[in-house]
Amino acid sequence: MMRIKIRRPAARFSITSCAAAALSAIPFCATLLSASMVFAAPAQAAILPGVNLAGPAFASGKIPGRYGWDYVFPKQQEIDYYTSHGMKLFRLPLSWERLQPEPSGPLDQAYLQHVRDFVTAAQAAGALTIIDIHNYGAYRGQLIGTEEAPVALFTDLWVKLAHEFGSSPSVLFGLMNEPKQKSADEWANFQQQAINAIRKTGATNRILAAGIDWDGAHNFQQVNGTALARLHDPRKALLFEAHQYFDRDSSGTAPDCVSEDQVEGRLAPFADWLEAHHAKGVLGEFGVGRSPACLADLRHAMTYIYSRPSLWYGWTYWAGGPLWGEYMYTLEPKKDGSERPQMEILRDVLQSQPSENHAH
């Protein structure tokens, strides 16, 4: 998401450590059996709950930016806080330009080490990590598929990441956040090339494919359904990601929410598509404000997701992270340590679910 500008505190942060590793505290396919069948990996025991831990992709207009000032990585205390509340899936939004400063060049070792440290710490806490390239389908402002940013740049990035994390069962590959390409068919083709390139490295990680037009769940079938149904993963470990906000225009930019009776209608198009294509999905972003109406929407959304458990691999609320301050959707605790009302809803939902071990 990150469609709003956040005023960042002028603060410096210290380095903390976790049990396993030091963690920085600062800041189309012709081989388809059917066009209507997209095979996901075998069913897992339970839906994985989680949160976006934003920070590494902040200040996207300042590249490379100042570490600990313009951008940060999540702290160990955040991993501890969210896992203590039952969160088992972290979506880590990354800046492509910081991760790979030059087109098709080597990955920046300092930035990459922060990612490694986070993955290690999350795994030690029993959580998985989605590596999310939070670039809206572009590199240095140029859309993938143009002369300035050919598809080869995109596949090169993912080949390098596959070599880094391809042997880690706790890492999922989120190909791209909310791509701005105009054609769903074109974007699906780009993703297929990335999937093929990743698999050629031998990496077995689950891969998350996303759709255009803000990747909305409410219009997923209409906008992205036909194109994404053509994707093929030879390892059958492909997941589909959608986002959904509950303000009037589904943009995630307002504190107010639609009436509770509209919640299911916003999620059902994506869920119905998953069911029709024998696929599994991740609700990669969703969030609400703090009003009673919004909190009712959040509870209803969770109830709906858990009413169709065979369709969902997991969900990651937007958002946590150390730089949000009083951002309307934040899950970060208040300065006095008390919980946000959104977290109270999510905690209640998680406590009501059977305790099961998730098959990675």
**Cβ proximity of 317 and 1 under 8 Å:** no
Q: Catalytic site residue 285? A: yes
- CA-only gyration radius of the chain, Å: 19
Tell me the three state secondary structure of residue 63: coil
Distance CA 27, CA 70 (A): 7
Q: Which of 78, 97, 241, 285 is catalytic?
A: 285
Q: Give the other-Cβ count within 10 Å of 10's Cβ.
A: 6
**Cβ proximity of 246 and 46 under 8 Å:** no
**Cβ proximity of 283 and 1 under 8 Å:** no
| Interior/surface letters 57-79, b for 16+ CB within 10 angstroms, e for the rest | bbbbeeeebebbbbbbbbbbebb
Contacts of 254 (CB under 8 A, 6+ apart): 247, 248, 289
**Cβ proximity of 165 and 208 under 8 Å:** no
Distance CA 71, CA 56 (A): 5
Q: Which of 178, 260, 332, 356 is catalytic?
A: 178
Q: Which two tokens stand for residue 162?
A: 């596959």
Tell me the three state secondary structure of residue 224: helix
Please give the angle made by the CA atoms of 178, 180 and 184, to the nearest 5 degrees.
Answer: 90
**Cβ proximity of 47 and 305 under 8 Å:** yes
> Hey, what's the torsion of the CAs at 111, 71, 216, 143, to 10 degrees?
-60
Distance CA 29, CA 232 (A): 6
The neighbouring-strand residues paired with 53 are 320
Q: Which residues are tagged catalytic?
A: 178, 285
